[in-house]
């Protein structure tokens, strides 16, 4: 039987031994004492929830997040979202992992070429040395250009971190045109490095937070990587060291949002708002794309924005096929 992509699943469709990537799982107990397994199944076209009742613990234990599963069941609906009622779910090997991982909207090689051009544009010697010492490392460069930027909210895909980073850099460079008081090379450097820690904070296949991501956060991990790189560069400017590390630590803007300090330099302030703008805008776009199209002018609640997103009147153009491919239900 041919593999059915997530984007082609429809209500009442029967699935028989269909392969998916297991993005998440939760084994819980219902109010009447029965076990319930909830999963998120994925391929590169999107994700779909699945549920199975009266599941023996050994079945759930055999399933590894970030690995393949083979599913038999029927596509139903729960809270206006498609959901697979599972009859059987077992581990399986995925022969071509690329088929099961969502990809960034822009081609990877195109984005890498843009990144390389931005790196070459840095004129300040210490900042150029710093970027070369980090992104000139092939292993770091490869991880950085393929990593996801998040688990689900925005740029949750292969190449998502790079796509987000380039957008933040473009926004920040526009700010430099508006505010000549900004140090352009410093702004570009911190824009390119602000989320570096995500290469260690997120699993590159499941997109789950790693132990480092949970216990240290990507802000500290990235700042630590940059600080160690600076310490290995003889004669690096102490003033630049302060400003670069501060901007990375402060880019979430507020203590309650995860930054250990608030932005206290002009470049850190610009970085924070550039990061917020791209994350919030892309998050809203993705939320609209994966939301049900029959719910009227507003989407369901976006947890990221703490509101329902207005998508327009009923005669607003329907989602494109590309948007449909990005539909994903919220993870648990």
For the chain, where are the E strands, in sequence order? 14-29, 35-43, 46-53, 68-78, 81-92, 298-302, 307-310
Per-residue pLDDT reduced to its tens digit, 81-113: 899 999 999 999 998 888 999 899 999 999 999
208 and 66, same structural domain?
A: no
11, part of any domain? yes
Same domain, 109 and 255: yes
Average pLDDT, stretch 31-48? 90
Is there a domain that residue 68 lies in?
yes
pLDDT value of residue 329: 43
Is 301 domain-assigned?
A: no
Proportion of the chain above pLDDT 70, given as a percent: 92
Supply the CATH number for residue 159's domain: 1.10.3210
Task: Name 216's Cβ contacts closer than 8 Å, sequence gap at least 6.
Answer: 197, 201, 224
The CATH number for 76's domain is 2.40.50.140
Classify 330 as helix, strand or coil. coil
pLDDT value of position 286? 79
* Residue 95 sits in the same domain as residue 146: no
Residue 312 lies in a domain: no
Asked whether residue 309 is domain-assigned, the answer is no
289, HSE (Cβ side, Cα atoms, 13 Å)? 23
Q: Whose CA is closest to 67, among 4, 106, 23?
A: 23
| End position of a domain, from candidates 35, 67, 99 | 99
Do 82 and 114 belong together in one domain? Answer: no
Are 114 and 82 in a shared domain? no
Query: Over the range 13-40, which residues count as b (16 or more CB within 10 Å of their CB) and which as e?
Result: eebeebbbbbbbbebeeeeeeebebbbb
Is residue 320 a part of any domain in this protein?
no
Per the structure, how many domains does the chain have? 2
Task: Give the CA distances from residue 267 to residues 119, 124, 168, 173, 288, in Å, rounded to whole numbers and listed in that order.
Answer: 18, 15, 13, 11, 32
> Where among 66, 99, 132 does a domain terminate?
99
Q: What is the pLDDT of residues 262-307, one digit of tens each?
A: 999 999 999 999 999 998 998 888 778 766 656 678 887 777 888 8
Report helix, strand or coil for 78: strand
The residue range of the domain holding 94 is 6-99
Cα 284 vs. chain centroid, distance in angstroms? 13
């Amino acid at each position: 039987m041919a593999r059915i992509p997530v984007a082609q699943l429809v209500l009442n469709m029967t699935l028989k031994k269909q392969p998916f990537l297991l993005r998440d799982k939760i084994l819980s107990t219902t109010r009447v004492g029965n076990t319930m397994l909830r999963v998120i199944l994925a391929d590169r076209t999107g994700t779909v929830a699945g549920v199975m009742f009266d599941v023996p613990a050994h079945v759930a234990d055999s399933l590894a997040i970030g690995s393949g599963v083979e599913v038999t069941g029927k596509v139903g609906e729960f809270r206006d979202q498609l959901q697979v009622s599972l009859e059987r779910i077992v581990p399986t090997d995925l022969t071509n992992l690329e088929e099961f991982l969502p990809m960034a909207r822009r081609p990877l090689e195109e984005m890498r070429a843009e990144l390389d051009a931005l790196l070459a544009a840095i004129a300040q010697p210490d900042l150029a040395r710093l970027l070369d010492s980090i992104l000139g490392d092939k292993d770091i460069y490869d991880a950085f250009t393929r990593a996801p930027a998040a688990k689900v909210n925005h740029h949750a895909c292969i190449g998502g971190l790079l796509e987000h980073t380039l957008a933040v850099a473009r926004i920040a460079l526009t700010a430099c045109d508006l505010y000549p008081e900004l140090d352009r090379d410093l702004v570009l450097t911190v824009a390119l490095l602000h989320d570096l820690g995500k290469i260690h904070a997120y699993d590159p296949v499941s997109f789950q937070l790693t132990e480092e991501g949970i216990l240290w956060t990507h802000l500290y991990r990235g700042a630590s990587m940059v600080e160690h790189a600076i310490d290995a560069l003889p004669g690096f400017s102490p003033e630049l060291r302060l400003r670069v590390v501060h901007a990375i630590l402060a880019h979430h803007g507020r203590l309650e949002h995860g930054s250990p300090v608030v932005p206290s330099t002009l470049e850190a302030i610009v970085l924070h708002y550039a990061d917020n703008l791209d994350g919030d805008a892309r998050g809203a776009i993705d939320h609209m794309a994966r939301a049900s199209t029959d719910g009227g002018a507003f989407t369901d609640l976006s947890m990221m924005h703490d509101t329902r997103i207005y998508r327009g009147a009923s005669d607003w153009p329907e989602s494109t096929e590309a948007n449909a491919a990005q539909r994903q239900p919220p993870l648990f």
